[in-house]
């Protein structure tokens, strides 16, 4: 394992702070390192491995499509892409009629920001404190954390950050009538696993309608069953103008999309695009992943197991725990100390989790994880907090 890590850190850019673990294989909610050690994976590719590692249905779809056609630009039609677009519209919240296909969550956010400017003719954006939307320049401009933004400033001008779950602050930010879009997560992920309040999110949608701004919902981390519904905005009956999705959409194959409400109509040609967006390979993987999610009722599974897991975590008697919160299998445990040492201690005991800010332990397991595996995860967290 040391040779793999040394080789990678020697030649990789340096942007990533590496853990001293070289993962080489996965199955379901388990992964194995180069030394053969097994872990329960509650990172799940930062939420991308929704249908489990090495899902055989996705793997078979990828292999079959790779033998048939890998690349087909958007200037041509393609059978697999057409089928996926139809499927995305079918499973999307009410009102969604079109989609733009791309390669990642940040690309989906970039496209949504461009669409908002294009459709409204306005330039400003409003985003939430603690929100995270990606690391490309546009997405970074609406991302809260100062340490991510400052090295690259100046970014997009005219971005206002308001407190999350504060409708009054949002109303004030929209008062000028010059806002192209408001972008919010239904559950803030990187910001600490903070669920949005139903009344706040509904009021945000109303305010956008009143002030001529597009309501953009970032479901990159919450989409495709993660929170107990296919899309988290369904918990609150929302009908966003634009929904950004990625991560689990294609079972771990890089893919993203912007789901577009019918009120916006078709976009003008040639004003945006993506060479690899909607490739037949990614589309085949996404079709297989969506079918698996539906056939195995993974949203319902996430709701049931998420409630169980929250109960297990809330049963941990430790003065170090400030709060346990989440929705479905998107769960955070806020500590009274920094999370990093406890994450390392959990990894030593065979459980992988990640942080969400300095003090929150975040769990984003594949939705195929078992009740027994979740019990083991809660037990390990309890052990390291003693």
Q: Could you list the active site residues?
A: 132, 218, 247
Residues 339 and 309: their CA atoms lie apart, in Å, by 19
Q: Terminus-to-terminus CA distance in the chain, angstroms?
A: 30
Q: How far is CA 2 from the centre of its chain?
A: 31
Residues 54 and 26: their CA atoms lie apart, in Å, by 6
For the range 204-211, what are the long-range contacts, defined as Cβ-Cβ under 8 Å and sequence gap of 24 or more?
204/167, 204/170, 205/238, 205/239, 205/240, 207/167, 207/170, 207/171, 207/174, 207/182, 208/174, 208/181, 208/182, 208/241, 210/174, 211/174, 211/175, 211/177, 211/179
Q: Which residue has the tokens 């677009």?
A: 85
Local structure of residue 267 (DSSP, 8 states): P
Q: How far is CA 298 from the centre of its chain?
A: 16
Number of CB atoms found within 10 A of residue 162's CB: 22
Residues 240 and 213: their CA atoms lie apart, in Å, by 11
Per-position DSSP letters for 179-218, written without gaps between them: EEEEEEESEETTTTSEEPPHHHHHHHHHHHHHHT-EEEEE
Element (H, E) at 286: helix 280-295
- Residue 223 near residue 233 (C-beta atoms within 8 A): no
Q: Which residue has the tokens 């669920």?
A: 195
Interstrand relation of 179-185 and 124-128 (parallel, antiparallel or unpaired): parallel
Residue 12: phi and psi, rounded to 5, are -80, 160
């Amino acid at each position: 394992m040391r040779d793999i890590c040394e080789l990678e850190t020697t030649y990789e850019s340096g942007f990533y702070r590496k853990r001293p673990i070289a993962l080489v294989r996965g199955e379901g909610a388990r992964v194995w390192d180069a030394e053969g050690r097994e872990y329960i994976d509650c990172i799940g590719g930062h939420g991308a491995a929704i249908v489990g590692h090495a899902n055989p249905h996705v793997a078979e779809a990828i292999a079959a499509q790779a033998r048939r056609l890998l690349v087909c630009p958007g200037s041509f039609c393609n059978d697999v892409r057409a089928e996926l677009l139809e499927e995305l519209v079918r499973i999307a919240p009410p009102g969604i009629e079109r989609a733009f296909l791309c390669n990642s969550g940040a690309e989906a956010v970039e496209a949504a920001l461009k669409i908002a400017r294009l459709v409204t003719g306005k330039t400003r954006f409003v985003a939430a404190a603690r929100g995270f939307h990606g690391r490309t320049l546009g997405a970074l401009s609406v991302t809260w954390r100062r340490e991510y933004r400052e090295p690259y400033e100046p970014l997009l001008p005219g971005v206002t950050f308001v407190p999350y779950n504060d409708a009054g602050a949002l109303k004030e930010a929209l008062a000028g009538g010059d806002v192209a879009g408001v972008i919010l997560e239904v559950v803030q992920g990187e910001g600490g696993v903070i669920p949005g309040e139903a009344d706040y999110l509904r009021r945000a949608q109303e305010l956008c309608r009143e002030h001529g701004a597009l309501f953009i919902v970032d479901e990159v981390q919450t989409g495709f069953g993660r929170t107990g519904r296919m899309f988290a905005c369904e918990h609150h009956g929302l009908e966003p103008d634009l929904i950004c999705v990625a991560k689990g959409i294609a079972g771990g194959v890089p893919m993203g999309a912007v789901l577009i409400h019918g009120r916006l109509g078709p976009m003008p040609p040639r004003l945006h695009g993506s060479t690899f967006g909607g490739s037949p390979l990614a589309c085949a993987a996404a079709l297989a992943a969506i079918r698996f999610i539906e056939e195995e009722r993974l949203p319902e599974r996430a709701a049931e197991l998420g409630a169980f897991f929250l109960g297990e975590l809330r049963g941990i008697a430790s003065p170090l725990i400030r709060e346990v919160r989440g929705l479905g299998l998107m769960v955070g445990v806020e500590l009274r100390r920094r999370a990093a040492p406890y994450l390392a201690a959990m990894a030593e005991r065979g459980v992988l989790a990640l942080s969400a800010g300095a003090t929150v332990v975040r769990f984003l397991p594949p939705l195929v994880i078992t009740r027994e595996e979740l019990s083991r995860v809660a037990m390990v967290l309890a052990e390291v907090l003693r």
